[in-house]
Chain A
């Protein structure tokens, strides 16, 4: 009788890479819904474009590399990277922005480094930073939340906007960005940064119509929606709490320190949490396993350092938000962190 020979263990918990990636994608859904609700259907179009580009790019490259294409596509890693990039860019950015960005993410940042598991930088953030530097205009043209916008826009408008630069009724992006009070609206972080640089205090900055209290309208809800998805990921043990926990804690403590000293100039920790992409960064971006730290201690350090960098760049840097830069900077430090944070092996005195 011809018997099958296999190495132990013969048991497996049946959660494969594709499943893990899919769970992360599902966890993004509340956030995407919130984003669509407040900023229009542009987000969905960006997601669609990004996923198509990612799958096509990955397929072509895998064919060129003579790999098992179907099997690799099914691990959903390219789809996830594309999705994360798509929700990070302004919803009405022209179509070629997301296509170029996704192509760069997949082809350069991921596959050129050897594909899944070998890329040292987070693909989505690599693509994002490339776009931000190359197309600063398009990458900062965020719309005001629909409730504050002078012009309303529907799905058809979104499609027109992304592909032609004009809505079906002929408005361009600048016109759409005008809020109910008749001025072009910036993101909460952007408007605070501008105001502070012009010598206003924070209290004065918060009077901008985009704020309700210290929370940016729409932005806070989107952050909460992503928080919900992130907690789901921790609950299902797809990600561990170490990176998001330490990242948020570090950001809160660091910004809190400044806030306590000079609350007029330095925003409160809650402001930093609820505005911008800190939450989505903490749960969805910094937790990318491939480019992140792998040891428990290393993850705490990795997360905390990202939190620190975000606050540093937000407060003193030239850019209003900093998740992408912070993540990429710390990606470079991962081998070092991993090396010096090895756990003590059973039966050994010290590591």
Chain B
């Protein structure tokens, strides 16, 4: 189906590469920034290092606020499968650990460690593995992971996972294509640090053992092709390949297709077609990590666009707020009607929401375009089905169909049209004559679908738990019934056994009951005036009090408070019911008599509860010792007050409802 190894080598040697469908040719604008050497910046006043700068999960934080950290010291652990550590970009003090605006289009806060530099820029102990060929593979992969390296090209996939892959790889592809307009950070890196890139490739070759290494560079970067060819010339397995300039040739899928004609399966990885790809920046970082022992704490960032007076490339420490970089490039808003800063390139970058956004591992460019240069799009017009988007799509999708269905939220059909194969390169929206922000619609649809799926899964889990619970409750009920039945049977049997005795017992019981009744009748007269609220609360509280009285005495105040709250609640409730229940007064007061005898047995907590109920601001009992701190008391008091207020309100509403219902009833009558 696809070309085999020999054919690929053959075609590459004669520069007869394949092509990918679609693609666009936006103006390159690389010369804005690629003519001057990479500059080093002074340290900013503050670093903001987000814990998660890659695809996967953030690691456990290893430092506390106030800690002093050294440059290169790990701030988070690589404890989980997909986690990659982050490191202190300089020596200084951790001032804050909290949520800070993220390097994400939403700007939603993410866990970030703030470090105030002390200006010394003092390194921690570095452990290089210069003789890496003598170390086991596992150690090297671990060292790459410990250095916090994740793909610097854009996606930010943890590098150690790819490097630790065991599949047979035919082609190790080093991606120096940099197809996005404006960006020149990889270009400058290749020109100035070709040797270190070559070292990084050597390490990867040692780890992955590919048959062939292809270094792909777009033909608009002749200097980079030159320097890397020189750096790689002793290695026969390494070949620098010049790729025709076309956006998005640097996309992983597209580059594999251009070099090998193979297509990465939609649910697969490059390794499935014998390829593995690393960005040149990643190779440089690997070399730094293994040969020098330095973790990934800085990267090259292109500052470009007409709103920069001095566009250039700079070495930026990870965590540097972009305001620091903007001033380094002499950014001025005079050419922009409203300020606009794009992190990344003009095709796939996103606008940042704050100038405090930190530089992260995938930040390759800051683009501040003049309004004339990249005008902000007008409102979209109607789609005229011209198919310019389909002609531009490198994945051979039908963008306009995806657009219809995404916009109409017909997500099932959108997925039938392979929405998730969209790489969001933006070629379709670039050519759309109606200026429809197509990619935006796809992103929204994808986010919605992901959330829906998550909810579906959660709902399924909830359903299972609900059903399991129902089953358990049913089982318990049956068991209880069974037990009761058995107990009843046992009683019956024993009764049958000693027949006469049982009869006597029954007679005795009857007599007792009669006596009790008489007594009750007497008491009823006395207690007729007792309001029904009191007995009710006393049943409650007394029950609780009896339970609590067994608890250790140091808990007493807590208990008291709880009872107080409970009482307040009940009080409010009963107030509400009181009106309706007037007719039931007698029955209730009967009950109250039974209970009142119990009351005497109650301990001091009971009294406390009463007090609390009377005055909600004074909470803990006067009898019990005040052991707890005052703030606790206040809290509890507040809770009670709240509860009371809530219940009262509810009660009032109930009352209203009731009166309404009553009036209605009356009118019905």
Q: Point out residues on A near B: beta carbons under 8 Å.
A: 1-13, 15-17, 19-20, 71-72, 75, 77, 115-118, 240, 289-290, 292, 294-296, 342-348
**Structural contact, B385 and A9, CB atoms closer than 8 A:** no
Q: Using an 8 Å CB-CB cutoff, how does the interface string of B115-138 with A read, 1 for contact, 0 for none?
A: 000000000000000000000000
The distance from the CB of B557 to the nearest CB of chain A, in whole angstroms, is: 53
Kindly list chain B residues whose C-beta atoms are within 8 Å of the C-beta of A7.
105, 350, 437, 439-440, 443
- Pick the 3 closest A-B CB pairs, nearest first: A9-B426, A117-B382, A7-B440
A71 to B434, CA, bound (A): 11
Instruction: Given the known inter-chain contacts A9-B430, A11-B181, A294-B385, please indicate yes or no for A3 contacting B349, CB distance below 8 A.
Output: no
Complex Cα–Cα for A240 and B388 (A): 10
Q: Which of B257, B355, B429 contacts A3 (CB 8 A)?
A: B355
Can you list 17 A-B pairs with a CB-CB distance of less than 8 A?
Answer: A2-B339, A3-B339, A8-B344, A9-B427, A10-B346, A10-B351, A15-B431, A16-B435, A116-B384, A294-B390, A294-B398, A342-B398, A345-B395, A345-B418, A345-B421, A347-B253, A347-B268
Bound CA–CA A344/B429 (angstroms): 21
Residue pair A117, B369 in contact (C-beta under 8 Å): no
On whether the beta carbons of A8 and B377 are closer than 8 Å, the reply is no
Closest to B342 in A: A10
Does A294 lie within 8 Å of B387, measured CB to CB?
A: yes
C-alpha gap A116/B381 in the complex (Å): 9
Complex interface: chain A residues within 8 A of B394 (CB): 346
> Are A290 and B351 in contact (CB-based, < 8 A)?
no
Asked whether B572 is an interface residue with its Cβ less than 8 Å from the other chain, the reply is no
Contacts of A345 in B (CB 8 A): 266, 395-397, 418, 421
> In the assembly, what is the distance between CA of A342 and CA of B352, in Å?
37
In the complex the two chains form, is A8's CB within 8 Å of B381's CB? no
Asked if B353 and A3 make an inter-chain contact with CB atoms under 8 angstroms apart, the answer reads yes
A interface SS class: loop
* B264 contacts partner chain A, Cβ-Cβ < 8 Å: yes
B341 contacts chain A at the CB level, 8 A cutoff? yes
Which chain B residues lie closer than 8 Å to A75 at the CB level? 381
Q: Which residue of chain A is the closest to B375 with respect to CB atoms?
A: A12
What mask results when residues 12 to 28 of chain B are scored 1 for a CB within 8 Å of chain A, else 0? 00000000110010100
Query: Residues of A contacting B268 with CB < 8 Å?
Result: 347
Instruction: Report B444 CB to chain A, min CB distance, Å.
Output: 9
Instruction: Give the distance to chain B from A164, nearest Cβ to Cβ, in Å.
Output: 39
| Pair B263/A346 contact, Cβ less than 8 Å | yes
CB atoms of B386 and A20 under 8 A apart: yes
With a cutoff of 8 Å between Cβ atoms, the chain A residues found around residue B390 in the complex are 294-296, 343
Q: Determine the distance from Cα of A10 to Cα of B307 in the docked complex, in whole angstroms.
A: 15
Q: Is B348 an interface residue, CB under 8 A from the partner?
A: yes
Residues of B within 8 A of A348 (CB): 266, 418, 421
Residues in A whose Cβ lies below 8 Å from that of B266: 345-348
Closest to B434 in A: A17
Q: A8-B348, A10-B349, A294-B400 are in contact. List 11 more A-B contacts (CB 8 A).
A: A5-B351, A5-B353, A6-B376, A10-B374, A115-B382, A117-B434, A118-B382, A345-B395, A345-B421, A346-B253, A347-B264
- B residues near A344, Cβ cutoff 8 Å: 396
B421 and A8 within 8 A (CB): no
- Pick from B352, B369, B394, B429 the residue with the most CB of A within 10 Å: B429
Q: Is the C-beta of B664 less than 8 angstroms from some C-beta in chain A?
A: no
Would you call B421 and A11 a contact (CB within 8 A)? no
Encoded as 1 (CB less than 8 Å from any A CB) or 0, chain B from 427 to 459 comes to 101111111010110010000000000000000
How far, in Å, is A343 (CB) from chain B's closest CB?
A: 4
* CB pair A347 B263 closer than 8 Å: yes
On chain A, the residues within 8 Å of B433 by CB distance are: 15-17, 19-20
Query: Which single member of A6, A11, A117, A296 contacts B385 (CB below 8 Å)?
Result: A117
Report whether B439 and A9 are in contact in the complex, using a CB–CB cutoff of 8 Å. yes
Which chain A residues border B338 with CB–CB below 8 Å?
2-4
In whole angstroms, what is the CA distance A4 to B431 when docked?
22
B500 in the interface (beta carbon within 8 A): no
- Cβ of B348: which chain A residues have Cβ within 8 Å of it? 8-9
Given A11-B347, A16-B433: A295 touches B24 (CB 8 Å cut-off):
no
Which residue of B has the minimal Cβ distance to A75?
A: B381
B391 within 8 A of A: yes
Residues in A whose Cβ lies below 8 Å from that of B385: 117, 289-290, 292, 294
CB distance from B265 to the nearest CB of A (A): 5
B383 at the interface (CB under 8 A from A): yes
Interface flag for B354 (CB, 8 Å): yes
Q: Which residues of A contact B354 (CB under 8 A)?
A: 3
Whole-angstrom distance between the alpha carbons of A10 and B440 in the complex? 11
Give the residue of A8, A71, A289 whose beta carbon is less than 8 angstroms from that of B384: A289
Closest partner residue, chain B, to A342 (CB atom): B398
**Closest residue to A19 on the B side, CB-wise?**
B433
Nearest to A68 among chain B residues (CB) is B379
Q: Nearest chain A CB to B386's CB is how many angstroms away?
A: 4
Residues 50 to 107 of chain B near chain A (Cβ within 8 Å)? 105
Q: A3-B352, A75-B381, A294-B390 are in contact. Are A11 and B26 (CB under 8 A)?
A: yes
B340 at interface by CB-CB < 8 Å:
yes
Contacts A9-B346, A11-B181 known; A343 to B398 CB distance under 8 Å?
Answer: yes
**Chain B hits for A4, CB < 8 A:** 338-340, 351, 376
Q: How many Å lie between the Cα of A5 and that of B432 in the bound state?
A: 20
Q: Are A6 and B381 in contact (CB under 8 A)?
A: no
**Bound CA–CA A294/B418 (angstroms):** 17
Distance of A347 Cα from B346 Cα, bound (Å): 26
Q: Digit string of B254-285 for contact with A (CB within 8 Å is 1, else 0)?
A: 00010000011110100000000000000000
How far does the alpha carbon of A71 sit from the alpha carbon of B380 in the complex, in Å?
10
- State in angstroms the CA–CA spacing of A346 and B262 once bound together: 10
Decide if A16 touches B434 in the complex (CB within 8 Å).
yes
Nearest chain A residue, comparing its CB with the CB of B254: A346
A215 CB to closest chain B CB (Å) equals 34
- Distance to closest chain A CB from B653 (angstroms): 44
Within 1-51 of B, Cβ neighbours of A (below 8 Å) are at 20-21, 24, 26
Whether A116 pairs with B421 at a CB distance below 8 angstroms is no
A16-B433, A348-B266 known; A8-B347 Cβ under 8 A: yes
Q: In the complex, are the beta carbons of A346 and B395 less than 8 A apart?
A: yes
Known: A8-B439, A16-B434, A346-B394. A3 touches B340 (CB 8 A): yes
B386 to A, closest residue via Cβ = A289
A295: B residues at CB distance < 8 A: 387, 390, 398
Name B351's closest neighbour in chain A (CB-CB).
Answer: A5
Residues from chain A with Cβ under 8 Å of B400 in the complex: 294
In this complex, what residue of B is CB-closest to A17? B433
Measured between C-beta atoms, what is the minimum distance from A9 to chain B in Å? Answer: 3
Contact among A8, A16, A290 for B350, CB-based, below 8 A: A8
- The smallest C-beta distance from A12 to any residue of chain B, in angstroms, reads 6
Neighbour of A240 across the interface among B375, B391, B431, B439, CB < 8 A = B391
Closest CB in chain A relative to B68 CB, distance in Å: 33
B residues near A115, Cβ cutoff 8 Å:
382
The distance in angstroms between the C-alpha atoms of A19 and B396, with both chains bound, is 26
Min distance, Cβ A14 to any Cβ of chain B, angstroms: 8
Interface-central residue, A13, A16, A296, by most chain B CB under 10 Å: A13
Among A71, A77, A289, A345, chain B packs the most CB atoms within 10 A around the CB of A345
Set of chain A residues within 8 Å of B340, measured between Cβ atoms: 3-4, 6
- Indicate whether A12 sits within 8 Å of B421 (C-beta atoms), given known contacts A4-B340, A117-B382, A290-B384: no
Q: How far is the CA of A305 from the CA of B92 in the complex (A)?
A: 74
Given contacts A8-B349, A11-B426, A346-B421, contact A1 B374 (CB under 8 A): no
**Residue of chain A at shortest CB distance from B444:** A7
